[in-house]
Structure 1
Amino acid sequence: MKVFTSMLNTPLLTKHTRSPLAISLIAAVMISLGHSAYAATYVYAGKLITAEDGKVREDKTLLIDKGLIQDIMDGKVEGNEQDSFYDLSEYTVMPGFMDMHTHITYQNEGTAGYLKRFSNNEADYALAGVGYAEKTLMAGFTTIRNLGDSYNETVALRNAINRGIVDGPRIYTSGKSIATTGGHADPTNGMRRDLMGSPTPRDGVINGVAEAREAVRQRYKDGADLIKITATGGVLSVAKSGRNPQFMTDELEAIVQTAQDYEMTVAVHAHGKEGMKRAILAGVDSIEHGTYMDDEIFQLMRKNEVYYVPTISAGNFVAEKAKIDGYFPAIVRPKAAAIGPLIQDTFSKAHGNGVMIAFGTDSGVSPHGENALEFQLMVDAGMSEMDAIISATYNTAKLLKIEDTLGTLQSGKIADIVAVKGDPLEDIRLLQNIDFVMKNGEVYKHSAE
């Protein structure tokens, strides 16, 4: 009302515009604007997991305004007539989930998918990513790390989502992964000689310290948020070894030091022990997959505060597909059969040895939108339901270094909220059917009727 009174006294209201009709119209506009400006959202939670600790709170209302959690109040508070209210009395409300290992513009299709390197353009990958991003958001994942793409298309997708052009999770992307010649992320593996050429740091292939530094700086220039390297062989690359070390120590140190200069973290694909050991000692932030970890690696990860991102879903997926004749190229199939089944057991041992766990699926290898299956696999391997949820909220925010703004439900933090009917602490499988998704204070999914 103060705003309306002020407007009536402004010089803009001349004698020609002080008519009753003009004043009525201005009043209507200002009342409408006032309702919009001061409208808030109230979310009532029958059960609330804030993820700041292992406690479950009950009978709480979250007040959300301007994309932030303004307050968490006792009891059911519905606000005023102009406010939005969501009654989730029969639901468990949690922070939006985060997946630390995705490939949001790619979907595994076995042998047929390898041919897309020769037929797909940047736009094909980017547009596919639009659909996969929406699936991921609807599954309750409001933030992801994307660890490797083909043409830096995830930088463009991230920007489009941030501008509200398309719907999807908040993306932190590495752009193209960094490999060595013939390494797991060398994009020319398996090609004939005239197509193979000699890829450069711009293409994500390095040899030596100078090129290692150049590759990091190129990714900074490209707009990447972090660095992803492939420190050992991998399962799906068209190359023989799935576990040999593929970077020298000085190359790893150059990558980490340069990344730190640009305030970028370093995520490391690794299956074999020696590659992991070199990477951890060089100062990286996370180990992805980690299949052949042992007690020495567990100790190094604890000492150096390195996160483990397990990707059990992808391991199980490739192990099953390896049983199908012709699904994978002949050079890939034995790697998938040998490495895939081991990751869940590795996770169990790592968790039992006190290694820090951050949730990650490798979605794109496993299907997009099925990210929450990882919760069940983690619990099956011995992690508690609450710890599994915290691994996908607070721990992931810590890995991304955004715990001041995301990862828990607390006053002042960004309103990324998901909810599921029932109690996931009694049945973790419930998280595979999320009913309510809010990101930045905006509701994207509400089937909780």
Structure 2
Amino acid sequence: MRALPILVFGLAFTSAPLFAQNLYIETGQLVDVVGGTVRTGQCIHIVQDRIDSVAPCGATPKGARRIDWSDLTVLPGLIDLHTHLADAGQSADLALPLNTSPAETALIGAHNARVTLEAGFTTVRDVGTYRGLTDVALKNAINAGHVPGPRMFVAGAYITIPKGGGELNGVIPNEQLPADMRLGVAGTPEEAKAKTEFLISKGADFIKTIATGAVLAMGTEPGEPELTEAQLRSVVDAAKAKGVFVTAHAHGAIGIKNAIRAGVRSIEHASLIDDEALAMAKQAGTWLVMDIYNGDYIDDIGTKEGWPEEYLRKNRETTDIQRIGFTKAVKMGVKIAYGTDSGVYPHGQNARQFAYMVRYGMTPMQAIQSATIRAAELLGKQTELGTIAPGYYADLIAIKGDPRTDIRLLENVAHVIKGGTLVTPAQ
């Protein structure tokens, strides 16, 4: 892969973090996502990787480095709950994931992680990779400080039926695919349970199931159920025994209802959700993670680049109706958290979805909350992530202007701090 030497050079020599351990950040406006308000004149004291205090600005604490962001708006680091960092990306070439080696996939993932972090997303949930466990390796490399990237929660592989929406279909016979591309393939509840336990033992933080067909998988239909309710329940039960959540890729209403009844924590996409499924989600407290931006990207770039017509057709059949379902979910008060399906479109553009969420029913503050405090709640990390408050991880971003009046300002982040470390240069 010719680009790899350049990629590695870039990782070594760009975006070098400054390892400050005691910072005093002077803010212009501070977004309080808990109260849904904005405060002025506040300073944030960071010690090591946590926030020590948030209070009206005063003298710089002894030993701290004062950083002047008094002309900027400061928010919690953003969270994207539907990414594919550790993957080769989407293109017209169906064989790309197969022809990209595990080592190449990991290096591509390192690049994706860096640009995602620089875009202000300090935490992500990576919801699956064709090369199983590559996401675990990337998470471990980030945690060890070998590569810059967001805090990652990873699935390890897709739990999917043979030739289902989580398989690489249409390239070679699936039985001939490398073993690492079929780690989650399961045909029975017993196999689904075993695969779940295996992935958790190998470092998966949550489990991703494929409850319906997919838009971007050959030979599957988004509205058709795949994993049965019994299979989904076996995964949920096995994961619960290990203290792990389960999410379900589910476009069609039948698959969504199967997943809710089985006890999953969240539904990805929910493109064809109906009123009954919306009511079920609200009653059960099931989260929706709806990627309402990337349908436009697929239609535009996919058409220009010659993506398979099957992909384009299924995308057209799901994009507008998904947005209608999103608007209904917002009005009904169904739990919604931020997730974009980055990897389908270029990484680092994750914030482009905010404008769509506002267009289809959320207030700007609700959209911000979906990618901060609400996303942290879905992760079960609401006491550590998603808020600027004492004891929380020091994950911050700074932007110019007020996102309450122009949500697209979040697409241009000026500064990023992750875990007390300056990712972008301070002023």
TM-score (norm 1): 0.87
Of 346, 349, 362, 1:383 maps to 362
Which residue is 1:320 aligned to? 300
The Cα of 1:79 is off from its aligned counterpart by 3.1
In 1: Cα distance, 2:184 partner to 2:69 partner: 47
Structure 2 spans left out of the alignment, 5+ residues: 1-19
Q: 1:138 to 1:110 in 2, by over 3 A?
A: same
Q: Partner letter of residue 91 of structure 1?
A: L
Could you say which structure has the greater relative contact order, defined with CA pairs below 8 angstroms and 6 or more residues apart? 2
> Which amino acid in structure 1 is aligned with residue 386 of structure 2?
G
Q: Does 1:116 align with 2:123?
A: no
| 1:103 aligned onto 2:56 | no
1:283 aligns with 2:244: no
Query: 1:26-37 residue pairs with structure 2 within 5 A?
Result: none
| Structure 2 partner of 1:308 | 288
Q: In the alignment, is the contact (CA less than 8 A) between 1:99 and 1:360 conserved in 2?
A: yes
> Match for 1:157 among 110, 120, 138?
138
- Does residue 62 (structure 1) correspond to residue 41 (structure 2)? The answer is no
Shift of 1:315: 2.2
> What letter is aligned with 1:384?
T
Superposed, 1:43-442 pairs within 5 Å as 43-80=25-62, 82-106=63-87, 108-112=89-93, 114-149=94-129, 150-187=131-168, 189-193=169-173, 196=176, 203-324=183-304, 327-442=306-421
2:348 maps to amino acid: G
Q: Aligned partners of 2:327, 2:198: CA distance in 1, in Å?
A: 37
Structure 1 runs of 4+ with >4 Å offset: 194-202
Q: Distance in 1 between matches of 2:385 and 2:21?
A: 23
Distance 1:39 1:419 in 2: 19
Q: Conserved in 2, the CA contact under 8 Å of 1:319 and 1:340?
A: no
Name which one, 1 or 2, has greater alpha-carbon Rg: 1
For 1:202 and 1:338, locate their aligned partners in 2 and report how far apart those are by CA, in whole Å: 28
1:197/1:422 CA distance change after superposition, 3 Å = closer
Identity of aligned residues (%): 35
The letter for the 1-side match of 2:417 is: M
Deviation at 1:194, TM superposition (A): 8.0
Checking the alignment, whether the CA contact within 8 Å between 2:31 and 2:74 is kept in structure 1 is yes
Alpha-carbon distance change, 66 to 375 in structure 1, aligned in 2, over 3 angstroms:
same
| Offset, 1:202 | 5.9
Cα distance between partner residues in 1 of 2:97 and 2:32? 43
The separation in 2 between residues aligned to 1:184 and 1:407, in whole angstroms, is: 31
What secondary structure is seen at the aligned counterpart in 2 of 1:293? coil
Between the aligned partners of 1:164 and 1:181, the Cα distance in structure 2 is 37
CA 383–194 in structure 1, closer or farther in 2 if over 3 Å, else same: closer
1:332-354 deviation line (CA, Å, top 9, x unaligned):
23112222343333211211111
With the length of structure 2 as denominator, give the TM-score of the two structures: 0.91
Q: Are the aligned partners of 1:201 and 1:215 in contact in 2 as well (CA < 8 Å)? A: no
Q: CA deviation at 1:190?
A: 1.3
List runs of 5+ in structure 1 lacking aligned partners: 1-37
Offset at residue 409 of structure 1 (A): 0.8
Is the partner of 2:227 in helix, strand or coil?
Answer: coil
Secondary structure of residue in 1 paired with 2:261? helix
Equivalent-residue separation in structure 2 for 1:199 and 1:39 (angstroms): 43
Letter in 1 for 2:141: A
Q: Verify the 8 A CA contact 1:416 1:441 in the aligned structure 2.
A: yes
